[in-house]
A = this chain, B = another copy of it.
Amino acid sequence: MRRIFFILLFSLFIIQLGFGQYKDKDLSNLMPLPKKIELYDGKFIIDKDFVVSIQNNSSKRIEKAVTRFVRKLSNETGVFFKHGFPVKQKDHISPFKIAYKREGKLKLFEDESYILNVSSKNIELSAPTDIGVLRGLETLLQLVRSNAEHFYVPSINIIDSPRYPWRGLMIDVARHFQPLDVIKRNLDAMAAVKLNVFHWHLTDDQGFRVESKTYPKLHELGSDGQYYTHEQIREVIQYASDRGIRVLPEFDVPGHATAILTAYPEIASKDTTYQIERNAGIFHPTLDPTNEKTYELLSSLFEEMASLFPDEYFHIGGDENEGKHWDENQKIKKFKEQHGMKTNHELQTHFNIRLQKILKEYNKKIVGWEEIMSPEIEKSAIIHSWRGVNEGLPAGESLIQAIKLGYQTILSNGYYVDLMLPVEDHYLVDPHPKGVNLTKEQEKMILGGEVTMWSELVTPVTIDSRIWPRTAAVAERFWSPREVTDIESMNVRLENVSLQLEKLGITHIRNKEVILRNITKSNDIRAILALSKVCEPLKKYTRNKGGMEYQTYAPFTLFADACTSDAKDAKAFGKLVSQLIEQPNDKKIRIQLNQYLQRWSLLSSNLDDFDNPIINQIKPMAENLSKISYILNYYVKNNKITSAQLEVLDKYIEMAKVPVVDVELVLVPSFEKLIKHLKKQEKVMNK
């Protein structure tokens, strides 16, 4: 039997037949979905003789990648391989052959395509570049499955290449410093889902995170001792390069610069002293664009950093500079008048143009947040579109503006995973949304996008659980054909990919329980774990009102930190409620509902065993949930409910809508849906 999936060519066909959901078990670990898949009956069995051969002119990158691949495969299958390392093709007859034409360059538009053919006897992976081979190895690892006797790869042919050349993840290491191991494991995860740009947000009001040899006060006074040395930066770049990932550094100027001004107040727009910022938000400190010393410092600093970071692009930030200190400074006001500048945006453009020139000398093109957009900026610049509905603007508006002005552009609006929104919200955002008509040339100006992970509310313990697994879904948006949009399929595959990510060291699953043990001071976390699966941290930065509730040194081992978006049990319960309303007589659904409601109705008494201020803050919420669950469970078991009960429920639901300890009980909509249904039914039932 031959099962073919041409996503690109036959997408409608696939979706209609349900193939788009990839319920075929053999494909249920794949993310991002490849462009073209032909699946056959037959299996390549992984046993102790498994060995990989590489064509003669093997690159260092390939050798390392294949060695990592063999380790992962051994750990995945528990098979003790005779060969722990790849072999040369000429020395060895191997069933798994890797071939590529040349070493890939870590450059925009580099070829990342690959062809993977698996039969019951052979695996062949070929690609124009070694980077393509890397992508193919990740696909192959996702294809590993098992039956009772063997681990195997199904017979399959895959032809694959990315939709967009720029597929990024930005990590903010300024608000909360992220040590090297956090960065490395996230690079591993990025590689697993074929992301290829690590955007390193290195400076902000809360910290300057790179050692500077030209201006050492930057890291000495601007980082609380938490910064990367040159060697560490090089280590990360090498680590990324080994995985076919570019590293894009960001030095955010002229705003978001408190840490810089803490070290060098002489280039500030306001004559005062500065201290590293401990809160979150938009602050006034900004560089003085009329001071030649500013350019002197930036020029030397960028020269140093340009030689440290090999990528041809350099992100200069440029966002959220409101210019209050510019308005207050007479010298700057005069400068604006002298140069006929009417707005601060014009002044910032003047600044940006100078930076663009400086960086051009060091062979760098600039990337900047959308505020840098201005027709005077050279067209080699990339506009990083980020604002949208939250900022009172149409989503991704600047992306289209940039294209029309002739700039290449990348999209981050819609991909702010730190907003704690459901995965679907991000997954369905397309860099080129339907209804936006672009010429072929214009379409090419969209290079791709970046997930952004701002770190005001995360530490090394929690950051992974904010980035993953949702970023894997966005990675599919960037890589896979536009037509791949089936939510159900995505959710099934994301659950599996989430487990794969854990094996790379990503802590999104394990650290939930770590935090809960910290809260209970106990190994017994069953009750609070159940609660954490129906609660989500407050969304859209409402957790940190005005940026002033949490300081960088605040505790981030709270219940909200153990909770994640897409709370699992709440999602599952929601589905069951919908099913119950449609099939009120289905006993299976009632049994499952009963299991959840029973557990939740006992939550409150189970939490009583624990007694400390943190737990005690959570208890009222648990108690309320237990009461609601108890009544609803009465209905589920007996299929009747009284008006009095419904009335009480209404009261409890209102209470359940109030956030407690920075989380919301995300069961509320499902409860309301069920109660609404019950009210309709009430008379019928109680006859």
Chain A interface (Cβ < 8 Å from any Cβ of B)? 64, 70-71, 74-81, 84-85, 146-151, 179-181, 225, 229, 231, 278, 495, 499, 502-503, 507, 509-511, 513-514, 517-519, 521-523, 550-558, 611-614, 616
**Interface pair B518/A557, CB less than 8 Å apart:** no
Identify 6 new A-B residue pairs, CB closer than 8 A, beyond the known A502-B514, A510-B514: A71-B553, A75-B518, A78-B614, A80-B550, A151-B612, A509-B514
Q: Would you give the shortest CB distance from A360 to chain B, in whole angstroms?
A: 32
Q: Which residue of B lies closest to A229 (CB)?
A: B231
**Interface pair A75/B552, CB less than 8 Å apart:** no
**Interface pair A78/B613, CB less than 8 Å apart:** yes
Q: Report the 8 A-B pairs with minimum CB-CB distance, sorted nearest first.
A: A84-B553, A181-B181, A146-B612, A510-B510, A75-B557, A74-B555, A78-B614, A231-B231
**Interface pair B522/A499, CB less than 8 Å apart:** yes
Q: How far is the CA of A514 from the CA of B70 in the complex (A)?
A: 20
**Interface pair B517/A509, CB less than 8 Å apart:** yes
Q: How far is the CA of A229 from the CA of B180 in the complex (A)?
A: 15
Q: Would you give the shortest CB distance from A59 to chain B, in whole angstroms?
A: 14
Pick 23 A–B contacts, CB within 8 A, sort by A.
Answer: A64-B225, A74-B555, A75-B518, A75-B556, A76-B557, A78-B555, A78-B613, A78-B614, A80-B550, A80-B555, A81-B553, A84-B552, A85-B553, A146-B612, A148-B611, A148-B612, A149-B616, A179-B181, A499-B518, A502-B517, A507-B510, A509-B514, A510-B513
Contacts A64-B225, A231-B231, A499-B523 given; does A613 touch B77 at CB 8 Å: yes
Q: Would you give the shortest CB distance from A172 to chain B, in whole angstroms?
A: 19
Q: Would you give the shortest CB distance from A636 to chain B, in whole angstroms?
A: 23
Q: How far is the CA of A556 from the CA of B503 in the complex (A)?
A: 12
Which B residues touch A181, using CB under 8 A? 179-181
Per assembly, the copies of the chain total 2
Interface centre among A77, A147, A181, A552 (most CB of B within 10 A): A181
Which B residues touch A523, using CB under 8 A? 495, 499, 509
Q: How far is the CA of A522 from the CA of B76 in the complex (A)?
A: 13
**Interface pair B84/A551, CB less than 8 Å apart:** yes
Q: Would you give the shortest CB distance from A88 to chain B, in whole angstroms?
A: 16
**Interface pair B74/A613, CB less than 8 Å apart:** no
**Interface pair B231/A553, CB less than 8 Å apart:** no
- B149, B521, B552: which contacts A499 (Cβ < 8 A)? B521
Q: How far is the CA of A522 from the CA of B522 in the complex (A)?
A: 25
Q: How far is the CA of A552 from the CA of B510 in the complex (A)?
A: 26
Q: Which residue of B lies closest to A63 (CB)?
A: B225
Which B residues touch A150, using CB under 8 A? 613
Which B residues touch A522, using CB under 8 A? 499
Q: Which residue of B lies closest to A616 (CB)?
A: B148
Q: How far is the CA of A495 from the CA of B503 in the complex (A)?
A: 27
Which B residues touch A71, using CB under 8 A? 553
Which B residues touch A509, using CB under 8 A? 514, 517, 523
Q: How far is the CA of A159 from the CA of B231 in the complex (A)?
A: 44
**Interface pair A80/B148, CB less than 8 Å apart:** no
Q: Which residue of B lies closest to A29 (CB)?
A: B521
**Interface pair B521/A551, CB less than 8 Å apart:** no
Q: Would you give the shortest CB distance from A621 to chain B, in whole angstroms?
A: 15
Q: How far is the CA of A616 from the CA of B518 in the complex (A)?
A: 35
Q: How far is the CA of A179 from the CA of B511 in the complex (A)?
A: 20
Which B residues touch A78, using CB under 8 A? 519, 555, 557-558, 613-614
Q: How far is the CA of A497 from the CA of B616 in the complex (A)?
A: 23
Q: Which residue of B lies closest to A552 (CB)?
A: B84
- B225, B513, B613: which contacts A149 (Cβ < 8 A)? B613
**Interface pair A553/B74, CB less than 8 Å apart:** yes
Which B residues touch A151, using CB under 8 A? 612-613
Which B residues touch A555, using CB under 8 A? 74-75, 77-80
Q: How far is the CA of A356 from the CA of B96 in the complex (A)?
A: 52
**Interface pair A613/B75, CB less than 8 Å apart:** no
**Interface pair B278/A84, CB less than 8 Å apart:** yes
Which B residues touch A554, using CB under 8 A? 74, 80
- B80, B229, B511: which contacts A551 (Cβ < 8 A)? B80
Q: How far is the CA of A511 from the CA of B76 in the complex (A)?
A: 15
Q: How far is the CA of A284 from the CA of B448 in the complex (A)?
A: 57
Which B residues touch A77, using CB under 8 A? 555, 613-614
Which B residues touch A556, using CB under 8 A? 75
Q: Would you give the shortest CB distance from A78 to chain B, in whole angstroms?
A: 5
Which B residues touch A502, using CB under 8 A? 514, 517-518
Q: How far is the CA of A554 from the CA of B551 in the complex (A)?
A: 45
Q: How far is the CA of A278 from the CA of B616 in the complex (A)?
A: 54
Q: Would you give the shortest CB distance from A230 to chain B, in whole angstroms?
A: 9
Q: Would you give the shortest CB distance from A25 to chain B, in whole angstroms?
A: 11
Q: How far is the CA of A499 from the CA of B557 in the complex (A)?
A: 14
